[in-house]
Amino acid sequence: MKKVFFLSVCLIFFFESCYKEAIIFDGEPNNLLELPLILKINNKNCAFDSESNTLRYGIEYDFIADFEALIEFQNHSKIYWKDSLLINNSINDLGSIEINKNYKIHIITDEIENEINLQFTNLPIIQIITHNTIIDEPKTLARLIINYPSLTEDVVESYVGIEHRGNSSQWHEKKSFLFSFLNSQYVNDNVAKSIFNLAENSDWGLDAMFTDHARLRNKTCFEIWGQIEGSRNYGIHSNFIELFVNSEHRGLYCLNEQMNNQLLNMIFDDALLYKAVGWDGTRFEVYEETISTNKYWNNWEQKFPKPEEKINWEPLMYLTNVVVNYDDNVFISEISELINIENFIDYYIFINMLSAADNTGKNTFLGRKSQEEPLFIIPWDLEASFGRFWNGSSVGYTDIHSNNLYARLLELDPNNFKNKLKNRWLELRINILSPDNLMDLFETNFNQLQKSNILDIENTKWGLHTNLMEEQEYINSWINNRINFLDTYYQEL
């Protein structure tokens, strides 16, 4: 049963015409999926966590010396801040405020007083409000609210369809989510929207990062891939956020773009996007001769075009057949026309820099924007990297990760593949894959998290013992050892 605080003995009715004389801090959402108002600052609702009796609000700066803000709360209540009575629906001077500090506010209704904590954070806050239990398929209806720390960015509010995502991650208490923006309260009425200044998309992910000791590998790896590929290809962008579901603070999450035809700007009928959903077949070791008439083949899923509109497995089937079954001469003569060699070279270097054993088959996308182009590869789900396996255990730095496609490329060396691979490593090694650049990318993300108290909240909420300083030292040491090993590996190709 939810913990409910009443500031009055009157009955609560959820009709707009009713004059409310109580605040339900952990109330049920109404028919529009709105929670009862507690405190609003500069037109943004503070998010409430009933377990800690705490309100959270995002600000752009770590410290504000003279914080004047529009304050709103329920008309029948009084709120005291630092012993001063706040004026409702008016600009109030809250004095100096800073992130990670606990402020006490006192809410009085009918002479009944409740003390609540108010905390400021440097992270954006996302609230998911729903009547329903969120499960792994089908999506359930919810309202999503994004409160950015910046005063110049408007609040985002939208109905969404939301579900759990991931396979192994669903065994954890802290779940990841996938949501789609909706144009109405119908869960199939999808609409594309831009958030966090990213490209419009209907589908977005909320990554729990539960097994990652550092809570930032996925995000940092996406940034490394983006630097490697630049404008030549596509990758996923991410942002750290705090997540609330109704009146429960779920902790730190990473909001991720979802790889789909919208993100890739696929506008032609012959564009294709396949997602690896298993291991057999996606490592190009097994060829399934049966022609599929649905969205699955050989542990791949067709993401675009929509399978109910068109099935097209021919390009991927032919590529797999060439790799698995065709003789050396055919492989050598055709492989450069079937895949984007430069992109696949980058991907091989990328997953080996990360030691991403989980990304040699599964956790990849293959796509093309037209039939005139070869297939390109895009990574996703990169938590198992930089010295950690998918379950969070530590791994060494002397493994090489490959699959049957890369094995044949290295063995047969079509169009001087090995020399191109070596030269590309040497090129990237100077800047993007230098220890300094890699550590700088990690440090930027570590610094953002270390400025916040979100990891303390994470550890308390989920019973963890995450230590960012220890993990940063571990990653930095691992990077140096890994690069030294790879220098020797590529030199000996």
* DSSP symbol at 452: S
Residue 253: per-residue pLDDT? 97
Express each pLDDT in 163-209 by its tens digit. Answer: 998 765 567 789 999 999 999 999 999 999 999 999 999 999 999 99
Residue 170: per-residue pLDDT? 63
Express each pLDDT in 203-245 by its tens digit. Answer: 999 999 998 999 999 999 999 999 999 877 788 999 999 999 9
Per-residue pLDDT, averaged over 396-422, amounts to 98
* DSSP symbol at 482: H
Residue 235: per-residue pLDDT? 87
Report helix, strand or coil for 48: strand
Per-residue pLDDT, averaged over 313-335, amounts to 98
Reported confidence tier of residue 10, pLDDT bands at 50, 70, 90: very low
Report helix, strand or coil for 469: helix
pLDDT at 6 over 70: no
**Domain chopping of the chain, boundaries:** 40-117, 125-257, 272-491
Report helix, strand or coil for 468: helix
Residue 111: per-residue pLDDT? 84
Task: Report the C-alpha gap between 493 and 486 in whole angstroms.
Answer: 11
**Which residue would you say has higher pLDDT here, 256 or 167?**
256
Task: Give the pair of three-digit tokens for residue 489.
Answer: 């590996």
Express each pLDDT in 15-66 by its tens digit. Answer: 333 334 556 677 789 999 999 999 999 999 999 999 999 999 999 999 999 9
Angle in degrees, CA 486, 359, 260, rounded to 5: 130
* DSSP symbol at 182: B
Say which residues have a Cβ less than 8 Å from residue 224's Cβ, sequence separation at least 6.
350, 353, 354, 432, 433, 438, 441
Q: Which residue has the tokens 């940092």?
A: 220
Please report, rounded to a whole number, the percentage of residues in the chain having pLDDT higher than 90: 87
First to last CA, the chain: 63
**Which residue would you say has higher pLDDT here, 19 or 160?**
160
Which residues are paired to 78 by β-bridges? 108
Report helix, strand or coil for 293: coil
Do residues 127 and 156 lie in contact, with contact meaning Cβ atoms separated by under 8 Å?
no
How many CA atoms lie less than 13 Å away from 485 in the CB half-sphere? 16
Reported confidence tier of residue 255, pLDDT bands at 50, 70, 90: very high
Name the nearest CA neighbour of 364 among 271, 236, 239. Answer: 236
Please report, rounded to a whole number, the percentage of residues in the chain having pLDDT higher than 70: 94
Report helix, strand or coil for 183: coil
Express each pLDDT in 338-353 by its tens digit. Answer: 999 999 999 999 999 9
Phi/psi of residue 475, each to 5°? Answer: -65, -45
Q: Which residue has the tokens 């989510």?
A: 177
Residue 369: per-residue pLDDT? 95
pLDDT at 99 over 60: yes
Mean pLDDT (the chain, rounded): 92
Task: Report the C-alpha gap between 398 and 333 in whole angstroms.
Answer: 33
Angle in degrees, CA 117, 120, 126, rounded to 5: 100
Residue 14: per-residue pLDDT? 37
Reported confidence tier of residue 112, pLDDT bands at 50, 70, 90: confident
Per-residue pLDDT, averaged over 298-311, amounts to 96
Task: Report the C-alpha gap between 224 and 237 in whole angstroms.
Answer: 11
H helices of 263-340, in order, are 314-324, 328-338
pLDDT at 133 over 70: yes
Residue 13: per-residue pLDDT? 36
Task: Report the C-alpha gap between 394 and 313 in whole angstroms.
Answer: 38
Residue 22: per-residue pLDDT? 59
Which residues are paired to 156 by β-bridges? 146
pLDDT at 291 over 90: yes
